[in-house]
Chain A
C-alpha cells in the first residue's frame, strides 16, 4: 500500500485573519486513482489545493510526494514537481491568443532565448484537432465560449506531463458532451498512473469517477473513504453535518393565468422566433446546450441586448424594453449566469451590492437613509441566510455561494413579479443550492413567475413545472412535468428530434 501513495499531506494548518481555514488536515492520494474532495464552499478544499499548488504557505504540517517530504514555495515549484491545477474560476487574458494561452509560462525557446513559434503553432494545431475545438491558434480567447476556454484549460493542464492533477469544479461551465470527453481523458490519465484530485459539488459526477472520497467541513476532514463503501446521501449528510431530506423542495402550486408572455422574440443573429409564457406560480425551465441561445434570450428580455422583433407582456401589458430599468420597473429581475462579470461589484461592500437595484428605497428626501438600508439588507440577508462577517465586507471576500445569495437578496428586495435565474446554482455548494431552490418555491407560492436557465438537468427536472428546450437559437420543444426525462430533453437539445420525426 505504501508504494501506492503518490501524495500525502500531514497535519496541515492554515489560518487567515479571523478564520482557521484548515485544522490538522491529513489525507492521501493513491497513484492511478481519482480522489474526490467534497464539502460546502468555505470548508477548506480550495485552500488545501492552493497550498498543494504553492499559492499559499501552510502555517504548519508537511507534504510528501512519492514518500519524500517537499516544500512547495510557489506554483513554479509545484509545476516542476509534476503538479497541475485547473482552477475553478477562469482567469484568462481576453486579448491573448489560443496558442499563447496554452504555452503560457512554458514557451519553448532556443539557445538564444528566442521563442520557437513554429513548434508552438504545430503543437497547438495538433491539440486543437485532437480535441475537436473549431479554433485557430491565433484566435483571441475573447472569441471562445466559456466552456471552450474551460476545455482548453483542462487540455493545457494534462498536456503538461503532470503526475498529480487538481481539478477544481472542472465541469461547472462545460456541456454534457464535453464532460464525457473529460471523463474519458481522466480514465486515460488514471491508466497512466496519474493521481487526480477532483473537487466537485455534482454528486453524480463524483460517484461516477471517484475511487476515494474525502469530505471536508469547517476546515477539518470529516471522513475519508472508498467510493464503493458509501453513497450520495451519506456524503451530503457528512458535508452539511445533517441529513438532507429532499434535494428538491418542489411544492404543488396551482398555476394561474399567464404572467409573462413572450411572442416572436428576435435579437440579431443570437436567436429568433422565441415564444413562451410563464403563469402565476409557475416555475419554467430553459434547457439546451451551451450556446443554444438561452442566456441570450434572457438577456434580451431583461434589456441587455437589443430587441429586433417580438412582444413582451407582463400581466398582459406590453412592455417597451430598451434598457434594464424598463424591465425592472415592470417587475422583472434577472440573476446573471456570470456572477463575476455581470453580478458583483467586487470591491464594494455586500451592503452596497445588495441595495444597488433598490436605491430609490434608501435615497429619498435629499439624503441617504443608511439605517433603513442596513435594516432592509439585514432582513434579506437573514431570509437568504447570507453568511458575511459584516455588511461592510467587500463582496469579493465572500464565497461564491454567499455572493450568489447576496445577489439574490438584491433582486428579492425589489419584490419581483418575474424572476429570471440564469444558472443560479453554478459553482455553489449543496446547502446554498437548497436555499436557492427553497427561495424559488417561495416566490412561486406567492403567485409570481420563475424562469430558470440551467445546464444541470436533474435540477430542471426536480424544480420545474414546464421546460422549454432550445437548440441553435430556436425553441426546439416544450415538455410538461409528466414528460420530463433527461433523454427527452437531450433529444430536443441536440436537434435530433426533427430527424427522428422525419
Chain B
C-alpha cells in the first residue's frame, strides 16, 4: 500500500520530479548552476517563452493552438518600440503592443470560432501575415536607440528582474483563470468535448474568443519584454518562439488532444527546457547537439507522462467492491500469488 502511495505521488508530480532530477544533475555537473545569479539568469531567459507557453497552454486545453505568437510578438514589439521612439510615452507603447496582439488574436478567433476553421490553418496564415507586416513596416531593418524602453526588459525591481516579475504575475493570473473562474472550467470542457460542452449550455464561441484574448494579452506583453530585453525593435526576432511555447506546454503535461493541462505544469515544462539549455551552454555543448538532446528530452518527458497518466486511470468500476476487497488485497500484495 505504501508503494502505491509513493507511486501515486510520483504520478501526480511526475513532471516535477523530472525537473528535480535535472536540477540535481546540473548542479553536480556545474556548481555554478544553483548560484543566485545563474537562477536569475535562467528566469530572465525563460520569461518571454513561459509567457507565450501560458497562452499556448490555455489554447491547447481549449482544443486550439496558436502558431502565430512569435510573428505577432515581433509585429506588436516593433510597432510598440516605434511608437515609443516617436512619442516617448512608455504606457502608450505598451498599450500599442497589447492592442496589436489582441487584434491579431481576435482575427484568429473570428475564423476559428465563427467559421469553424482549424486553428492550425488560421494561425499559420496570421503568422505569415504578421511577420510580413513587421518586415514591411521596418523595411527589414532593426529599430535602434530605443532608450529607456529597454529598462522593461533589462531593469530590476529590487532584486528581481522586471521580465521575471511579469512572468510571476502571468503565472498567478493564468492559474487564477484556469482554477477559479467559470471560464477556466469551460476551457477544459470545450477542449475535452466541444459538442458535450455546447449541450451543457456553455457558450463555446465566446469562450474561444476569450481564450484567444488571453493569448493576445500574453503575446502583447511578451512583445514588449522581448524588444526591451534585446534593446532594439527586431522585425525578424522571436522566430519559432511559438514552438518553444508549445514545447514547454506539452512537456509540462498539456495534452495535445485538449482538455488537460495546468499552469504549474507549463511553468515546470518551461523550466525543464530552460535548465537544459542553460546547463548545456555552461558546459559548452554545441547548439546543434543541444537541439538533438532537446528533441530526445521532449519525447522522453511526454512518453513518461503519458505512460504514467494512462496507468493513473484504471478501469475502476465499483467503489463498493474496491472497499470490500481492500483487506484481501493487502494480504495478496504479490500479484498472481494463487497461480
Judge A-B direct contact (beta carbons within 8 Å): yes
Stretch of B120-128, B177-185, B228-236, B295-303 lying at the A interface:
B177-185
A299 — nearest CB in chain B belongs to which residue?
Answer: B199
What residues of chain A lie closer than 8 Å to B255, measured between beta carbons?
347
Asked if residues B315 and A397 are in contact (CB atoms below 8 Å), the reply is: yes
A392 to B49, CA, bound (A): 31
Give which listed residue, A17, A347, A359, A367, contacts B314 with CB less than 8 A. Answer: A17
A396 — nearest CB in chain B belongs to which residue?
Answer: B313
Q: Mark B319-333, 1 if CB is under 8 A from A, else 0.
A: 111100100010000
Asked if residues A368 and B180 are in contact (CB atoms below 8 Å), the reply is: yes
What residues of chain B lie closer than 8 Å to A60, measured between beta carbons?
336, 338-339
Asked if residues B319 and A348 are in contact (CB atoms below 8 Å), the reply is: no
A323 to B4, CA, bound (A): 46
What residues of chain A lie closer than 8 Å to B189, measured between beta carbons?
345, 348, 352, 356
Q: How far is the CB of B231 from chain A (nearest CB, A)?
A: 39
Once A42-B318, A394-B313, A397-B316 are accepted as A-B contacts, the answer to whether A363 and B198 lie under 8 Å apart by CB is no
Give which listed residue, A20, A348, A393, contacts B259 with CB less than 8 A. Answer: A348
Asked if residues B322 and A18 are in contact (CB atoms below 8 Å), the reply is: yes
Give which listed residue, B185, B202, B325, contacts A20 with CB less than 8 A. Answer: B325
Q: Which of B195-244 contact A (CB under 8 A)?
A: 195-203
What residues of chain B lie closer than 8 Å to A360, measured between beta carbons?
182
Is residue A105 within 8 Å, beta carbon to beta carbon, of the partner chain?
no
Q: How far is the CB of B113 from chain A (nearest CB, A)?
A: 13
What residues of chain A lie closer than 8 Å to B315, measured between beta carbons?
16, 19, 21, 397
A397 to B312, CA, bound (A): 10
Once A359-B185, A363-B185 are accepted as A-B contacts, the answer to whether A389 and B313 lie under 8 Å apart by CB is no
Q: Mark A13-39, 1 if CB is under 8 A from B, else 0.
A: 101111111000000000000000000
Asked if residues B180 and A59 are in contact (CB atoms below 8 Å), the reply is: no
Is residue B36 within 8 Å, beta carbon to beta carbon, of the partner chain?
no
A218 to B321, CA, bound (A): 8
Asked if residues A346 and B193 are in contact (CB atoms below 8 Å), the reply is: yes
Stretch of A126-134, A227-235, A280-288, A335-343 lying at the B interface:
A335-343
Q: How far is the CB of B149 from chain A (nearest CB, A)?
A: 34
Is residue B317 within 8 Å, beta carbon to beta carbon, of the partner chain?
yes
Once A345-B189, A346-B192 are accepted as A-B contacts, the answer to whether A19 and B318 lie under 8 Å apart by CB is yes
Once A59-B336, A356-B185, A394-B313 are accepted as A-B contacts, the answer to whether A343 and B196 lie under 8 Å apart by CB is yes
A344 to B192, CA, bound (A): 9
Is residue A304 within 8 Å, beta carbon to beta carbon, of the partner chain?
yes
Number of A-B contacts (CB under 8 A): 127
Q: In the complex, which of the residues B4, B198, B314, B338 has the most CB atoms of chain A within 10 Å of its own CB atom? A: B314
Asked if residues B335 and A59 are in contact (CB atoms below 8 Å), the reply is: yes
What residues of chain B lie closer than 8 Å to A388, measured between beta carbons?
319
Once A19-B321, A59-B335, A347-B192 are accepted as A-B contacts, the answer to whether A304 and B316 lie under 8 Å apart by CB is no
What residues of chain B lie closer than 8 Å to A494, measured between beta carbons?
none
Q: In the complex, which of the residues B189, B197, B311, B316 has the most CB atoms of chain A within 10 Å of its own CB atom? A: B316
Asked if residues A356 and B316 are in contact (CB atoms below 8 Å), the reply is: no
Once A341-B196, A343-B196, A346-B192 are accepted as A-B contacts, the answer to whether A18 and B316 lie under 8 Å apart by CB is yes
Q: Which of B6-25 contact A (CB under 8 A)?
A: none
Is residue A2 within 8 Å, beta carbon to beta carbon, of the partner chain?
no
Is residue B186 within 8 Å, beta carbon to beta carbon, of the partner chain?
yes
Is residue A433 within 8 Å, beta carbon to beta carbon, of the partner chain?
no
Give which listed residue, B186, B313, B336, contacts A359 with CB less than 8 A. Answer: B186
Once A19-B322, A218-B321, A359-B182 are accepted as A-B contacts, the answer to whether A345 and B197 lie under 8 Å apart by CB is yes
Once A18-B322, A393-B313 are accepted as A-B contacts, the answer to whether A324 and B201 lie under 8 Å apart by CB is yes
Once A59-B336, A398-B317 are accepted as A-B contacts, the answer to whether A363 and B192 lie under 8 Å apart by CB is no
Asked if residues A324 and B193 are in contact (CB atoms below 8 Å), the reply is: no
Once A344-B193, A345-B192, A387-B318 are accepted as A-B contacts, the answer to whether A356 and B200 lie under 8 Å apart by CB is yes
A58 to B303, CA, bound (A): 26
Asked if residues B313 and A397 are in contact (CB atoms below 8 Å), the reply is: yes
Is residue B94 within 8 Å, beta carbon to beta carbon, of the partner chain?
no
Q: Which of A351-398 contact B (CB under 8 A)?
A: 352, 355-357, 359-360, 363, 366-368, 387-389, 393-394, 396-398
What residues of chain B lie closer than 8 Å to A19, measured between beta carbons?
314-318, 321-322, 325
Q: Which of A182-223 contact B (CB under 8 A)?
A: 218-219
Q: How far is the CB of A101 from chain B (nearest CB, A)?
A: 22
Is residue B260 within 8 Å, beta carbon to beta carbon, of the partner chain?
yes
Q: In the complex, which of the residues A345, A360, A368, A398 has the most CB atoms of chain B within 10 Å of its own CB atom? A: A345
Q: In the complex, which of the residues A356, A368, A388, A398 has the most CB atoms of chain B within 10 Å of its own CB atom? A: A356
A343 — nearest CB in chain B belongs to which residue?
Answer: B196
Once A324-B198, A366-B180 are accepted as A-B contacts, the answer to whether A352 and B185 lie under 8 Å apart by CB is yes
What residues of chain B lie closer than 8 Å to A399, measured between beta carbons?
317
What residues of chain A lie closer than 8 Å to B335, measured between beta carbons?
15, 59
Is residue B33 within 8 Å, beta carbon to beta carbon, of the partner chain?
no
What residues of chain A lie closer than 8 Å to B317, measured between beta carbons?
19, 21, 41-42, 387, 398-399, 402
Q: How far is the CB of B333 from chain A (nearest CB, A)?
A: 12
What residues of chain A lie closer than 8 Å to B197, measured between beta carbons?
345, 356
A396 to B260, CA, bound (A): 14
Asked if residues B203 and A323 are in contact (CB atoms below 8 Å), the reply is: yes
Is residue A163 within 8 Å, beta carbon to beta carbon, of the partner chain?
no
What residues of chain B lie closer than 8 Å to A394, measured between beta carbons?
313
Q: How far is the CB of B258 from chain A (nearest CB, A)?
A: 9
Q: Which of A319-341 contact B (CB under 8 A)?
A: 323-325, 328, 334, 336, 341
Asked if residues A347 and B259 are in contact (CB atoms below 8 Å), the reply is: yes
Asked if residues A304 and B199 are in contact (CB atoms below 8 Å), the reply is: yes
A329 — nearest CB in chain B belongs to which residue?
Answer: B201
A265 to B255, CA, bound (A): 42
Q: How far is the CB of A395 from chain B (nearest CB, A)?
A: 10
What residues of chain B lie closer than 8 Å to A218, measured between beta carbons?
318, 321
Q: How far is the CB of B141 from chain A (nearest CB, A)?
A: 46
A338 — nearest CB in chain B belongs to which residue?
Answer: B195
A34 to B167, CA, bound (A): 66
Is residue B84 within 8 Å, beta carbon to beta carbon, of the partner chain?
no
A324 to B316, CA, bound (A): 33
Once A347-B259, A389-B316 are accepted as A-B contacts, the answer to whether A328 and B201 lie under 8 Å apart by CB is yes
Is residue A410 within 8 Å, beta carbon to beta carbon, of the partner chain?
yes
A390 — nearest CB in chain B belongs to which residue?
Answer: B319
Asked if residues A389 and B319 are in contact (CB atoms below 8 Å), the reply is: yes
Is residue B271 within 8 Å, beta carbon to beta carbon, of the partner chain?
no
Q: Which of B250-267 contact A (CB under 8 A)?
A: 255, 259-260
Q: Mark B137-179, 1 if CB is under 8 A from A, else 0.
A: 0000000000000000000000000000000000000000001
User: Considering the complex of A and B, which 7 residue pairs feature the smallest CB-CB distances, nearest first?
Assistant: A345-B192, A42-B317, A17-B314, A324-B201, A359-B182, A368-B180, A342-B199
Other than the given A59-B335, A389-B322, 11 more pairs (CB < 8 A) read A16-B316, A17-B311, A18-B322, A342-B195, A343-B199, A345-B197, A347-B260, A348-B188, A357-B200, A357-B201, A397-B315
Please, could you name 8 A-B residue pairs with CB atoms under 8 Å apart, sorted by A? A18-B314, A18-B322, A19-B321, A20-B325, A42-B317, A304-B199, A345-B192, A397-B316
